[in-house]
């Protein structure tokens, strides 16, 4: 067997060795953390994805050991392969940060700035990017592109107004289902995801387009607006699915005993994880939409959620709770007065201790 050729690449002053042919983005993912550029259209499990959104731009300050000249323009890291001795700047390059902020602003030109009423809020990559780059406001004064919401069958709703044309759902339908029935119609400013003649998308793996959509354009009709995602508790669960292509390993989004939503499990890049059988953990429509009782599943335990995610609020896996007492926090002084919110607040019912509820508080827990 021929020996694998390795290339040394330095990204933000951290050096890794990766096989020849690896993209800068995937090399950066091996380092992890902030060094990794964001990716709104690239999806490692979808062949051909990437090169559409430009959020993954980086500066190549040294092309390679043999040809150390810098690349004249910022490059899309998901589409540029590493060379031996290459040096790349991501968060250490003011040019990159500036250009990325511009890209985010362009992505938001035709995207509504209404995160508080969007079903994807809390798990939207565009929302995160917008806030990270200070682009939660807008300078755009013209009318945005707007579309009617379209039901793509019983389970999926398309709201093109939120689409950023990343093509992921088209690749997912092409590669996971037997027959792709939607695609991109028209060009330029008129381009849209559509089925041409309104059509139900019925294929048994089509639900995965919801998981790959980085924004709230494709949403689960069985979950839409039933809850905010940060009020639910995600747990890992599995069942014996008889669809041979389905791994049956999922995340249940629960509130109390109720299963509100079923999704594939996601990794730290927001992509569907590899399942225990070594395949990508895509799940079938039956697991996703039709098995919504906790008793349908074997629950493994709470999912690990990134602590920077809003979803991790009220979800304490892996967190060490502080043990200090008041006087330690107050550097040896005891508090002069301690008040109990339950006695003081007029909206609280005296017999309900909110901190002891094993569920989110409902309106019935408060006085009217
Ligand atoms: S609907 Fe979602 S996944 Fe499909 S192209 Fe638009 S943003 Fe991408
Ligand atoms: S992730 Fe590279 S261009 Fe979109």
Q: Which atom of ligand 1 is nearest to the CA of 165?
A: 5
Yes or no: say if 268 and 292 are a contact pair by the CB < 8 Å rule: no
Asked if residue 70 is part of any domain, the answer here is yes
Indicate the burial class of 146 (C-beta count within 10 angstroms; 0-12, 13-18, 19 or more).
exposed
Ligand 2 centroid, distance to 271 Cα (angstroms)? 14
CA–CA gap between residue 303 and residue 177 (Å, rounded): 28
Q: Do 177 and 203 form a contact (C-beta atoms < 8 A)? A: yes
Q: Which ligand sits closest to the CA of 192?
A: 1
Asked if residue 240 is part of any domain, the answer here is yes
Instruction: Give a yes or no: residue 211 inside a domain.
Output: no
Crossing angle for the helix pair 125-132 and 94-107, nearest 10 degrees? 130
Residues 262 and 346 in one domain: no
Mean of pLDDT over the chain: 90
Give start and end residues of each alpha helix (H) in 184-292: 208-212, 285
Q: Looking at residue 2, what is its pLDDT?
A: 66
What is the total residue count of the chain? 368
Are 313 and 338 contained in the same domain? no
Query: Do 285 and 314 fall within a single domain?
Result: yes
pLDDT of residue 125: 93
Question: What pLDDT score was predicted for residue 278?
Answer: 92
Q: Is the CB of 167 under 6 A from ligand 1?
A: yes
Q: What is the pLDDT of residues 158-187, one digit of tens each?
A: 999 999 999 999 999 999 998 888 989 888
> Is residue 198 situated within a structural domain?
no
Adjacency order of strands within the sheet including 218-220:
150-151, 156-158, 218-220
Tell me: the pLDDT tens digits for 206-258?
A: 999 999 999 999 999 999 888 899 989 999 999 999 999 999 999 999 988 89
Residue having the nearest C-alpha atom to atom 2 of ligand 1 = 213
Please give the average per-residue pLDDT across 126-137, as a whole number: 89
Overall domain count for the chain? 3
> Which ligand does the CA of 169 lie closest to?
1
Cα of 124 from ligand 1 centre, angstroms: 12
Mutate to test the pocket of ligand 1, among 43, 152, 164 (most ligand atoms within 8 A of CB): 164
> Does ligand 1 lie within 6 Å of residue 246's CB atom?
no
Residues with CB under 6 A from ligand 2: 39-42, 50-56, 76, 78
Question: Going by CA atoms, what residue is nearest to atom 1 of ligand 2?
Answer: 39
Nearest ligand to the CA atom of 58: 2
**Phi, psi dihedrals of residue 96, rounded to the nearest 5°:** -65, -45
Residue 22 belongs to what domain range?
6-107
The per-residue pLDDT for range 179-192, each reduced to its tens digit, is: 888 989 888 888 88
Ligand nearest to the CA of 53: 2
User: Is ligand 1 within 6 A of the CB of residue 166?
Assistant: yes
83 plus 17 within the same structural domain: yes
Question: Of 23 and 196, which is predicted with more confidence?
Answer: 23
75-76 β-sheet, strand order: 14-19, 6-11, 86-89, 57-62, 75-76
Q: Which of 107, 141, 170 is the last residue of a domain?
A: 107
C-alpha to C-alpha distance for 363 and 361, rounded to whole angstroms: 7
Ligand 1: centre distance to CA 159 (Å): 10
Distance of alpha carbon 64 from alpha carbon 82, whole angstroms: 8
pLDDT tens figures, 318-351: 666 667 788 888 888 887 777 776 776 777 787 8
- Whole-angstrom distance, CA of residue 357 vs CA of residue 291: 27
Domain boundary among 42, 72, 107: 107
* Ligand 1, atom 4: closest residue by C-alpha: 169
- The CA-based diameter of the chain, rounded to the nearest angstrom, is 76
43 C-alpha to ligand 1 centroid (Å):
12
Same domain, 63 and 99: yes
Pair (291, 335) in one structural domain:
no
Which of residues 54, 85, 107 is at a domain's end? 107
| Residues 52 and 89 reside in one and the same domain | yes
Same domain, residue pair 303 and 359: no
Q: Verify that 235 and 251 share a domain, yes or no.
A: yes
332 and 316 inside one domain:
no
The residues facing 10 across adjacent strands are: 15, 87
- For residue 126 and ligand 1, the question of a CB distance below 6 A is answered with no
* Ligand positioned closest to the Cα atom of 40: 2
Cα of 116 from ligand 1 centre, angstroms: 20
Whole-prediction pTM:
0.82
Distance CA 273, CA 346 (A): 47
């Amino acid at each position: 067997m021929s020996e694998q050729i390795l290339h040394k690449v330095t990204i933000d002053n951290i050096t890794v060795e990766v096989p020849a042919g690896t993209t800068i983005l995937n090399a950066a993912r091996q380092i992890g953390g902030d060094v990794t550029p964001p990716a709104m259209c690239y999806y490692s499990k979808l062949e051909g994805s990437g090169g559409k959104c430009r959020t993954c731009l980086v500066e190549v300050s040294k092309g390679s050991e043999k040809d150390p000249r810098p690349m004249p323009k910022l490059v899309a890291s998901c589409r540029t392969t590493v060379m031996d001795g290459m040096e790349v700047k991501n968060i250490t390059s003011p040019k990159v940060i500036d250009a990325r902020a511009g890209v985010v602003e362009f992505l938001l030109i035709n995207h509504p700035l209404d995160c508080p009423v969007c079903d994807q809020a809390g798990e939207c990559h565009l929302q995160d990017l917008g806030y990270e780059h200070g682009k939660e406001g807008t300078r755009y004064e013209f009318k945005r592109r707007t579309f009617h919401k379209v039901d793509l069958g019983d389970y999926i709703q398309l709201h093109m107004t939120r689409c950023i044309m990343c093509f992921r759902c088209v690749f997912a339908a092409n590669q996971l289902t037997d027959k792709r029935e939607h695609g991109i119609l028209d060009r330029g400013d008129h381009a849209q995801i559509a089925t041409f003649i309104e059509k139900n998308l019925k294929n048994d793996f089509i639900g995965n387009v919801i998981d790959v959509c980085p924004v709230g354009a494709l949403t689960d009709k069985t979950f839409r607006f039933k809850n905010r995602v940060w009020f639910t508790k995600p747990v890992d669960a599995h069942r014996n699915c008889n669809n041979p292509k389905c791994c049956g390993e999922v995340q249940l989004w629960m509130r109390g005993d109720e299963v509100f939503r079923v999704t594939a499990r996601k990794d730290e890049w927001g992509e569907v994880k590899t399942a225990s059988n070594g395949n990508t953990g895509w799940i079938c429509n039956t697991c996703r939409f039709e098995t919504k009782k906790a008793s349908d599943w074997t629950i493994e335990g709470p999912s690990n959620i990134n602590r920077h995610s809003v979803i991790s609020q009220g979800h304490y896996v892996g967190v060490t709770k502080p043990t200090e007492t008041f006087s330690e926090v107050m550097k040896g002084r005891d508090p002069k007065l301690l008040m109990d919110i339950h006695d003081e607040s007029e909206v609280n019912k005296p017999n309900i201790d909110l901190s002891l509820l094993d569920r989110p508080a409902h309106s019935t827990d408060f006085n009217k």
